[in-house]
Structure 1
Amino acid sequence: MMGYILLLALIGLCSAQSRLGSYNLDSTATVSGLSSGAYMANQFHVAHSGKVTGAAIFAGGPYYCALGNALTASTTCMKIPSAIGLLAIRTYTQTAANTGFIDPLSNLGRGRVFIFSGTKDSVLIQGVAKKLQEFYTGYISSASIKTVYNVAAEHGMPTDSYGGTCGILNDVYINNCNYNGAYEALNHLYGGLQKPSSSAGQSGQLILFDQSEFFNLAPAITYGMDSAGYIYVPSACASGTRCRLHIAFHGCLQGREKVGDTFARYAGYNQVADLNNFIILYPQARTILTNPNGCWDWWGYTGIAYATNDSFQITGVDRMMRRTQGLY
């Protein structure tokens, strides 16, 4: 059954791409991500904390953990938390803020953060996620940070209705854990949300849109970005109801190029969106020679400014965000 779903998803790669639309949205947004997407969500939050009011991190580590080095990314920032130097990271972060390459760090204090790390995660161990928690506590009160370290989950997005066995790795990195990670994350970031049932369907529209127009200097693929992304629009939001925007970053090997719309359709966000008037933006990274697994850039394969508001990927996604808000 899983293989059949993936086949249908990959066939969807040939679908026509629409122009990304604008909606009646709040002027701020929140972000989340898994694995490399977790690192990107954190980078996007830190770089644009003036307009991003919260982040949910599933299996990710602290900002600028890799220090621009691919080897550090694949070793220290995945499995050796004792070697993560938060002093150096905070020094870089402060310098970037002082020079305008990221928003003022004082903005972070008004936000909320959700951190999830499974007890069986063999790809990014819990100690790395706890370093992320330590990083954030330098800028955000502990009361605004929710951590979940007690679910017996392998590396992947935890859901209550879709995916492989919770404690075993699978090739789409979505785990059926009887735990609705998307809801728990968004409910912490916003509060007071309605929780969908595990059998809830999706009544909105998942739209494939053209990402290429958001990269001005070269084709999107130059920066490890797909030519198309996804956006989920509940019927109420399509009809003009005031809605909120959440940006969800997939992990490595989870982009459209590899699994079609599987992450965008089955990670659990869309059912929450239907009940609570959220639009979910799913930007898509892809493989290039220096990024063979289609990861987001959290170690520098697109250039030294990868973790700042001067980053090609962050700039492109920021333009997508502003388009949905009617600002670009």
Structure 2
Amino acid sequence: MERCVLLLALIGFCSGQSRLGSYNLESSVSVSGISSGAYMANQFHVSHSGRVVGAAMFAGGPYYCALGNALTSTGPCMQFPSSIALTPLKAYTQTGANTGLIDPLSNLARGRVFIFSGTKDSVVVQGVSKKLEEYYASYITTGSIKTVYNIAAQHSMPTDSYGGACGSLNSEYINNCNYNGAYEALNHIHGGLQRPSSSAGQSGQLILFDQSEFFNLAPAVTYGMDTAGYLYVPTACRNGARCRLHIAFHGCVQGREKVGDKFARYAGYNQVADLNNFIIMYPQARSIITNPQGCWDWWGYTGIAYATKNSFQITGVQRMMLRTMGQY
């Protein structure tokens, strides 16, 4: 057994992966995501609303939208919002809270939510994001929900400095829309942040860390998770300054196996982090037979509890979060 552990450690070392470290962090976190990552950010927020103070969703829909069905995920939850009924989704939410599968719903009332959907989004149409807004409005005052529906963006993470043409699809799903989505989202959630210039560089360190240790029952790939994730650490946070943690979930075909570190480098979060003392965690999903595009699980390919605290992916990311806080 000791030889196996040593071999796995050496494999991680040789591939450039480090053990995820701990930092001087506040106890609360925020989350965000694009597309399947938006659904995952919503699931993580609803599951752990006692810890998560806010969530930002770019091109995503309401909690448990797919009802555990892959066909529903690609149909109503992406293209046909008029077929999304919120009553069963809210009933599932209430049942989850009653049984402890998600945190008490009273926590959501103090959260802040940011929702972005481009007018040209042909992958997850705007009406789906408006259903997400309607879902959150059942638990959060409208003043704490900010929506952006007036930018002519295709299905993408909007930036003010990197990516393809705003209104067109590209293989990285990052578009230059002259709009800093990462800043706008984090500023709405936390308030009072400094805005980076569109030409700002990145002075921190992007670390490739081992995700494997956060999955105990089976290898990470069993649950559609990569063996490694990314962590961006500004110089001040590395030197012991009190910082905040933000978790950013990539979209389908946007993980490390498909585009390398492009989402972690160019989605816009790192420049905000440098100016405002945030550490940004970029957990990485990957493709498996039941998930060929490397999406986060928002329809049930890892099991029926995929949207709750018992989800293998949510549990793994929670452990990563706790490690950065020195609690795991």
2:61 maps to 1:72:
no
Map 1:271-310 → 2, pairs under 5 A? 271-310=271-310
SS in structure 1 of the partner of residue 64 of structure 2? coil
Q: Which runs of 5+ in 1 are unaligned?
A: 1-13
CA positional deviation for 1:75: 0.6
Q: Which residue of structure 1 lines up, in the alignment, with residue 265 of structure 2? A: 265
> C-alpha distance in 2, partners of 1:136/1:326?
31
Once residues 106 and 41 of structure 2 are traced to their aligned partners in structure 1, the CA distance between those partners, rounded to angstroms, is 18
AA aligned to 1:258 is K
Q: How do residues 164-313 of structure 1 correspond to structure 2 at under 5 angstroms?
A: 164-313=164-313
Q: CA deviation at 1:207?
A: 0.1
1:143 deviates by 0.1
Alignment partners' CA distance in 1, 2:234 and 2:92 = 40
- Distance in 1 (CA, whole Å) between partners of 2:105 and 2:180 is 31
| Distance in 2 separating the partners of 1:101 and 1:144 | 25
TM-superposition CA deviations, 1:174-225 (whole Å, max 9, x none): 0000000000000000000000000000000000000000000000000000
Q: Secondary structure at the match of 1:183?
A: helix
Report runs of 4+ in structure 1 exceeding 4 Å deviation.
Answer: none
Query: How much does 1:248 deviate?
Result: 0.0
**Counterpart residue type for residue 26 of structure 1:** E
> Which residue in 1 is equivalent to 2:141?
141
> What does residue 159 of structure 2 align with?
159
For the residues of structure 2 that align with 1:94 and 1:44, how far apart are their CA atoms? Answer: 16
- Residue 120 (str. 1) matches residue 120 (str. 2): yes
Residue identity in the other structure for 2:282: Y
Write out per-residue CA displacement over residues 259-307 of structure 1, whole angstroms, 9 at most, x where no aligned residue.
0000000000000000000000000000000000000000000000000
Q: Give the Cα separation in 2 of the matches to 1:234 and 1:300.
A: 35
**What's the secondary structure of 1:229's corresponding residue?**
strand
Mapped partners of 1:51, 1:191: distance in 2: 18
Aligned to 1:321: 321
Instruction: Give the TM-score taking structure 1 as reference length.
Output: 0.96
Distance (Å, rounded) in 1 between the aligned partners of 2:311 and 2:88 = 20
1: distance between equivalents of 2:115 and 2:31? 12
CA distance in 1, matches of 2:279, 2:105: 27
Q: Which residue of 2 aligns with 1:85?
A: 85
Q: Distance in 1 between matches of 2:325 and 2:281?
A: 11
Which residue of the partner structure matches residue 8 of structure 1? none
Give, as a single letter, the amino acid of the residue that structure 2 aligns with 1:285: A
Distance 1:164 1:42 in 2: 26
Partner Cα separation in structure 1 for residue 74 and residue 325 of structure 2: 36
Measure, in 1, the Cα distance between the counterparts of 2:121 and 2:16.
Answer: 37
Provide the C-alpha distance between the structure 2 equivalents of 1:49 and 1:102, rounded to a whole number of angstroms: 8
Distance of 1:105 and 1:83 partners within structure 2: 25
**Separation in 2, partners of 1:111, 1:71:** 31
TM-score (norm 2): 0.96
Q: Counterpart of 2:77 in 1: which secondary structure?
A: helix
Within 1, Cα distance between the matches of 2:24 and 2:93? 33
CA distance in 2, matches of 1:103, 1:190: 21
Q: Give the structure 2 partner of residue 27 of structure 1.
A: 27
* Residue segments in structure 2 that go unaligned for 5+ positions in a row: 1-13
The residue type paired with residue 88 of structure 1 is: P
Read off the aligned partner of 1:250 and give its amino acid letter.
Answer: H
Q: Take 1:195 and 1:293, find their aligned partners in 2: how far apart are those partners?
A: 33
Deviation at 1:15, TM superposition (A): 4.4
Aligned partner of 2:306: which letter?
Answer: Y
Give, in whole Å, the separation in 2 of the partners of 1:246 and 1:148: 21
Aligned equivalent of 1:105 = 105
CA distance in 1, matches of 2:105, 2:83: 24
Write the distance in 2 (CA, Å) between the matches of 1:270 and 1:22: 18
Q: 2:4 matched to which residue of 1?
A: none
Whole-angstrom CA distance in 2 between matches of 1:112 and 1:157: 20
Query: Deviations 1:94-115 (Å, cap 9, x if unpaired)?
Result: 0011000000000000110000
The match for 1:52 is 52
Q: For residue 78 of structure 2, give the secondary structure of its aligned residue in structure 1.
A: helix
Cα distance in 1 for residues equivalent to 2:196 and 2:16: 30
Amino acid at match of 1:190: H
The one-letter code of the counterpart of 1:115 is I
Amino acid at match of 2:109: G
